[in-house]
Structure 1
């Protein structure tokens, strides 16, 4: 797996990541969602550099200009519900892409730290021969993306798989590296060192879904 970790360098991306981490700024859920969306836009721009391009003649009022434009058939697939703001950021740039959505959530039995990831809903076009972009804001243990990968198999074999994520743990990144195809590409804004006993990233940001849309039962 090829890993593009943009937290290793200096860019405006760090400003938006710092704001989604900040416990005071997090209190504004609209700003939190917008910052995730902005991160999705920046990651999409960086990802666009890896696409296949072809020449196309564009007619202007005063003549014709040959432009190099992307030709990949993209499918943007996001994990509900936390992935929605990130998905919107991607869709802002890839407005002609097809879209897929999958529900995947952690199920803890009582107060136990151990959990299983349950997938209940999946809506997707055919993935056969297409360039698939999976978005999940928090790459914690990697188990969610593993279950998403299993569910995808019923919808065809994509030519390329890419993962866009906001913050991941080193453990989660290594796990995904093992279970996804070797040519998978990961575009991520930051990688943190640790997970706690319940599988949350430290220092991370907390629960992205709750911060974006409110606490769940």
Structure 2
């Protein structure tokens, strides 16, 4: 699919399989999500621009590479997005964080926004939006809408699982935002859940129903 990158690294796929199993405990699910998010973050930031700085090692001076530009922003779609956020911040601890409170109404499957907080100067930063599931795509579309309203122009979307329906809806709404995912599953069921999927990521991460 155009604009979609499937991260097929063996460690990502192995951990995802364990997360899918219904018998995987809350503690194990949470740990695996943190581990896999670090691997996904590595891939979604693979092409960040670099500059050089003159430094002195114990042996000599050299021109060494450093990230160029302002710090990244990780934009977490609450609440499940925080499961990805934790591992990503371990890899990029200096990143700024945005929180976007959007939930899906289970009757209409439409997004309901209840919270938004983001750093300034979004127009000068790469914003990586994170949510474990790209199901209908409605919540993700609403989150990116809000970020663009606040000035963000360089945005990427990172998820654990995606449904074809969600990818279609998201890329039609935001064709300029590339999608990175560990897997594209078969379809959505009548309740808007990804099949075969792994259930509700937030519930499995926090042990709720």
Q: TM-score per shorter chain, which class? A: over 0.9
Of 10, 35, 45, which aligns to 1:48? 45
The 5 A counterparts of 1:103-142 are: 103-109=101-107, 114-126=108-120, 127-142=122-137
TM-score normalised by L of structure 1: 0.89
CA contact (8 A) 1:51 1:72 kept: no
Of 76, 88, 93, which aligns to 1:78? 76
Cα offset, 1:69, TM superposition: 2.2
Q: CA RMSD in A?
A: 1.6
Name the residue aligned to 1:18. 17
Cα offset, 1:154, TM superposition: 3.6
Name the residue aligned to 1:2. 3
Distance in structure 2 (CA, Å) of the matches to 1:146 and 1:50: 24
Question: How many residues are treated as equivalent by the alignment?
Answer: 206
Structure 1 stretches of 4+ moved >6 Å: none
- Is 1:202 the counterpart of 2:201? The answer is no
- Is 1:39 the counterpart of 2:36? The answer is yes
Distance in structure 1 (CA, Å) of the matches to 2:75 and 2:91: 14
Cα offset, 1:136, TM superposition: 0.5
- Is 1:171 the counterpart of 2:165? The answer is yes
Runs of 5+ consecutive residues of structure 2 not aligned to the other structure: none
Runs of 5+ consecutive residues of structure 1 not aligned to the other structure: none
Cα offset, 1:153, TM superposition: 3.2
Distance in structure 2 (CA, Å) of the matches to 1:116 and 1:49: 33
TM-score normalised by L of structure 2: 0.92
